[in-house]
């Protein structure tokens, strides 16, 4: 009786994400999933060169992997990058700049889904941040329960740098990690924290000298739940996170409408166009030098 009640509770708390994840016909998988047969811990590596920017296929692949991890009873999930410079460059700017409207609606729904899937993941989650993590990359990291970062990287919700106001639920993910006054200042500045600054303010929990060390620290965090009943742990996490999640679940259509209006606004499109052009220019000049 109790078990069915608990399972019912989980069903209520976890929004149903029944998206069939079809990653594109690309040859290389967009995510790499390895489960350590000794520890039972799953490592999910983002694998979309050059910067793991989040497009529909990559986000669907992340959701598919999380669903698999929850289904195969892994003891925990470590999110990291197959790229040793960039954890995740955030949303793919090609999806936002002069977007196809139908695709933008799908893109935004998947963006909401990937945050929900990671934020509510029933197993313990940790991010081994082995590269830069701006905007949506920072969001993935803050959706995890623990964060270990390598030196000389940057992390933060920098949306105001390109004319965007992060959606309420994105701000809530920041507020689940940072004190309000600091989150407000960082959001309004579009601040990218250095690794040392991020540790100082609590945006990350530890610094590691190498990816291997970061993965080991994330495993240690996951091991800290070894004495907790997995079902009770999962329910407790979902219960604590429910108020933030419900703010999105209660009005996904409203969030989508607000996003469409904002992303199609001249403010954003002009800001984004200039920002994207500057990025490409930087990349071209780098290529010119090498
Ligand atoms: C609507 C907003 C909702 C709120 C939540 C989330 C919003 C977002 O996530 S919007 C995206 C914000 N992302 C960024 O501001 C990051 C921009 N990128 C960078 O700062 C850097 O690329 C880097 C630090 C991530 C990596 O630097 P580096 O290793 O030097 O690589 P390059 O800058 O030379 O870039 C290589 C290559 O990748 C392209 N690129 C970079 N970021 C993105 C991106 N987010 N989307 C699409 N493409 C991206 C860049 O233009 C280069 O392309 P090529 O010119 O073709 O080489």
Per-residue pLDDT tens over the stretch 248-289 = 999 999 999 999 999 999 888 988 888 889 988 988 888 776
90 lines ligand 1 (CB under 6 A): yes
Which residues on neighbouring strands pair with residue 86, listed in sequence order?
132
pLDDT band at 6 (very low <50, low <70, confident <90, very high): low
How far is the CA of 216 from the CAs of 137, 165, 210, 219, 223, in angstroms? 21, 35, 10, 5, 10
Token pair 């689940």 in the structure block, residue? 176
Question: Residue whose CA is closest, atom 10 of ligand 1?
Answer: 91
85 lines ligand 1 (CB under 6 A): yes
* pLDDT single digits (tens) 83-125: 999 999 999 999 999 999 999 999 999 999 999 999 999 999 9
Distance between Cα 55 and ligand 1 center (Å): 12
**15 domain residue, yes or no:** no
Question: Residue whose CA is closest, atom 51 of ligand 1?
Answer: 280
**Phi/psi at 80 (nearest 5 deg)?**
-150, -170
Question: Residue whose CA is closest, atom 55 of ligand 1?
Answer: 280
ipTM of model over 0.90? yes
CATH number at residue 67: 3.90.226.10
**229 domain residue, yes or no:** yes
Look at the alpha carbons of 139, 119, 60, 71 in this order and tell me if their dihedral is positive or negative. Answer: positive
77 lines ligand 1 (CB under 6 A): no
Question: Residue whose CA is closest, atom 34 of ligand 1?
Answer: 283
**Inter-residue contact 242 to 13 (CB < 8 Å):** yes
Residue range 194-201: mean pLDDT, rounded: 98
94 or 5, higher pLDDT? 94
- 25 DSSP assignment: S
**278 domain residue, yes or no:** yes
pLDDT band at 26 (very low <50, low <70, confident <90, very high): low
190 lines ligand 1 (CB under 6 A): no
199 lines ligand 1 (CB under 6 A): no
Closest approach atom of ligand 1 to CA 94? 47
Mutate to test the pocket of ligand 1, among 55, 99, 152, 283 (most ligand atoms within 8 A of CB): 283
**219 domain residue, yes or no:** yes
Query: What amino acid positions are annotated as catalytic residues?
Result: 91, 136, 158-159
Domain that holds residue 181: 30-288
**187 domain residue, yes or no:** yes
**Inter-residue contact 128 to 78 (CB < 8 Å):** yes
Distance between Cα 100 and ligand 1 center (Å): 20
**17 domain residue, yes or no:** no
Mutate to test the pocket of ligand 1, among 93, 108, 130, 174 (most ligand atoms within 8 A of CB): 93
**168 domain residue, yes or no:** yes
**18 domain residue, yes or no:** no
Tokens found for residue 211:
């990816």
Look at the alpha carbons of 153, 155, 158, 159 in this order and tell me if their dihedral is positive or negative. Answer: positive
Q: Element (H or E) spanning 227, and its range?
A: none
Is pLDDT at 36 greater than 70 in this prediction?
A: yes
Residue range 22-30: mean pLDDT, rounded: 66
53 lines ligand 1 (CB under 6 A): yes
51 lines ligand 1 (CB under 6 A): yes
Question: Residue whose CA is closest, atom 16 of ligand 1?
Answer: 89
Give all strands of the β-sheet with 206-207 in edge-to-edge order.
31-35, 41-46, 76-81, 125-129, 146-149, 206-207
In whole angstroms, what is the distance from residue 97 CA to residue 9 CA? 40
**Inter-residue contact 42 to 67 (CB < 8 Å):** no
Tokens found for residue 128:
């081994």
**Inter-residue contact 204 to 155 (CB < 8 Å):** yes
In whole angstroms, what is the distance from residue 135 CA to residue 53 CA? 10
pTM of the model: 0.92
118 lines ligand 1 (CB under 6 A): no
Give the number of domains in the chain. Answer: 1
């Amino acid at each position: 009786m109790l078990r069915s009640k608990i399972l019912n509770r989980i069903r209520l708390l976890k929004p149903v994400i029944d998206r069939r994840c079809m990653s594109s016909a690309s040859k290389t998988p967009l995510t790499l999933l390895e489960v350590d047969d000794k520890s039972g811990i799953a490592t999910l590596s983002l694998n979309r060169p050059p910067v793991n920017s989040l497009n529909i296929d990559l986000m669907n692949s992340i959701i598919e992997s999380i669903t698999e991890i929850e289904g195969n009873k892994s003891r925990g999930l470590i999110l990291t990058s197959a790229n040793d410079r960039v954890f995740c460059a955030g949303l793919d700017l090609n999806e936002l700049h002069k977007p196809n409207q139908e695709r933008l609606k799908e893109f935004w729904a998947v963006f909401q889904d990937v945050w929900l899937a990671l934020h509510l993941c029933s197993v313990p989650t940790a991010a081994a941040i082995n590269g830069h993590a701006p905007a949506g990359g920072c969001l993935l990291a803050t959706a995890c329960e623990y964060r270990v970062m390598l030196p000389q990287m940057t992390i933060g919700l920098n949306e105001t740098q390109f004319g965007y106001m992060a959606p309420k639920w994105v701000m809530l993910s920041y507020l689940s990690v940072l004190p309000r006054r600091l989150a407000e200042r960082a959001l309004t500045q579009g601040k990218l924290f250095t690794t040392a600054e991020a540790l100082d303010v609590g945006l990350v929990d530890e610094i590691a000298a190498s990816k291997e060390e970061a993965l080991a620290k994330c495993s240690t965090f996951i091991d800290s739940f070894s004495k907790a009943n997995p079902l009770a742990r999962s329910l407790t996490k979902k219960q604590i996170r429910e108020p933030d999640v419900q703010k999105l679940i209660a009005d996904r259509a409203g969030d989508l409408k607000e996003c469409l209006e904002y992303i199609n606004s001249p403010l954003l499109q002009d800001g984004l166009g200039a920002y994207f052009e500057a990025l490409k220019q930087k990349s071209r000049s780098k290529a010119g030098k090498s």
